[in-house]
């Protein structure tokens, strides 16, 4: 292995060690200080980055994806009797596909989102989801990585605007800084309603998601 390749491998290993130390520290703060303290630290980190002139461009730049507000969407699915029957199916049919909804994610930190996701998932697994748990979404995230899927074309859950599909991550050799280095690659796919947004908006959304996954600490504000 050439000296340049050795240095690239050393940089990659250092990045993995630093990332692990950051995450371990975050786990400790979350366990002993709670989500509010984690949010405070993230905001301080972002302010310090701004003072140092470090640009962290992770503000969502695709506002048109958030087209249908929760207040404007009619109660799912619109009629009381049908809602009663659907709720019964969701609650008692073990084979029903349930899609819980997390609202106002732009106002919550990662700890708060994780806690709410855990609560929603627990109710869904117990077949006790409430109608308000299943409505008001603009975008769905579907994960088929557990089945070995790579890229696929997820179907939009009307009346939402888009759906992001996640495949199985795998290690690949990536050419970077003049050398090949191992990288974990996560396949991401997006389908969108072209009547509401155009392809550029969808591409920016997917790029933002990729950047956020590569730099999760920047999402703490």
| Residues carrying an active site annotation | 194
Of the candidates 146, 150, 145, the residue with the CA atom closest to the CA atom of residue 187: 150
161 by Cβ neighbours in 10 Å (0-12 / 13-18 / 19+) ranks as buried
Distance of alpha carbon 175 from alpha carbon 77, whole angstroms: 49
69 by Cβ neighbours in 10 Å (0-12 / 13-18 / 19+) ranks as exposed
Q: How far is CA 153 from CA 59, 61, 89, 98, 109, in A?
A: 26, 23, 27, 19, 29
- Helix-, strand-, coil-residue percentages of the chain, each rounded to 5: 50, 15, 35
**Residue 132 near residue 140, CB atoms below 8 Å:** no
Distance of alpha carbon 218 from alpha carbon 104, whole angstroms: 18
Cα 99 from chain centre: 14
Task: Determine the length of the chain.
Answer: 221
**Residue 129 near residue 89, CB atoms below 8 Å:** no
């Amino acid at each position: 292995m050439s000296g340049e390749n050795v240095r690239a491998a050393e940089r990659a290993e250092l990045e993995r060690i630093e990332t692990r130390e950051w995450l371990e520290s975050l786990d400790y703060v979350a366990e002993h200080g709670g989500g509010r303290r984690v949010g405070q630290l993230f905001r301080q980190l972002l302010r310090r980055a701004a003072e140092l002139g470090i640009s962290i461009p992770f503000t969502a730049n695709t506002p048109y994806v958030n087209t249908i507000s929760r207040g404007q969407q009619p109660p799912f699915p619109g009629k009381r009797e049908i809602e009663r029957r659907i709720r019964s199916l969701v609650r008692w049919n073990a084979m029903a596909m349930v899609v819980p909804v997390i609202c106002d994610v732009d106002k919550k930190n990662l700890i708060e989102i994780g806690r709410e996701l855990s609560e929603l998932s627990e109710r869904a697994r117990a077949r006790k989801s409430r109608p308000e748990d299943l409505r008001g979404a603009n975008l769905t995230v579907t994960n088929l990585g557990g089945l070995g899927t790579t890229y696929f074309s997820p179907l939009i859950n009307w009346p939402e605007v888009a759906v992001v599909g996640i495949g199985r991550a795998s290690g690949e050799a990536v050419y970077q800084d003049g050398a090949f280095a191992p990288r974990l690659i996560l396949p991401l796919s997006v389908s969108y309603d072209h009547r509401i947004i155009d392809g550029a908006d969808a591409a920016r959304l997917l790029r933002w998601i990729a950047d956020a996954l590569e730099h999760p600490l920047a999402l703490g504000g």
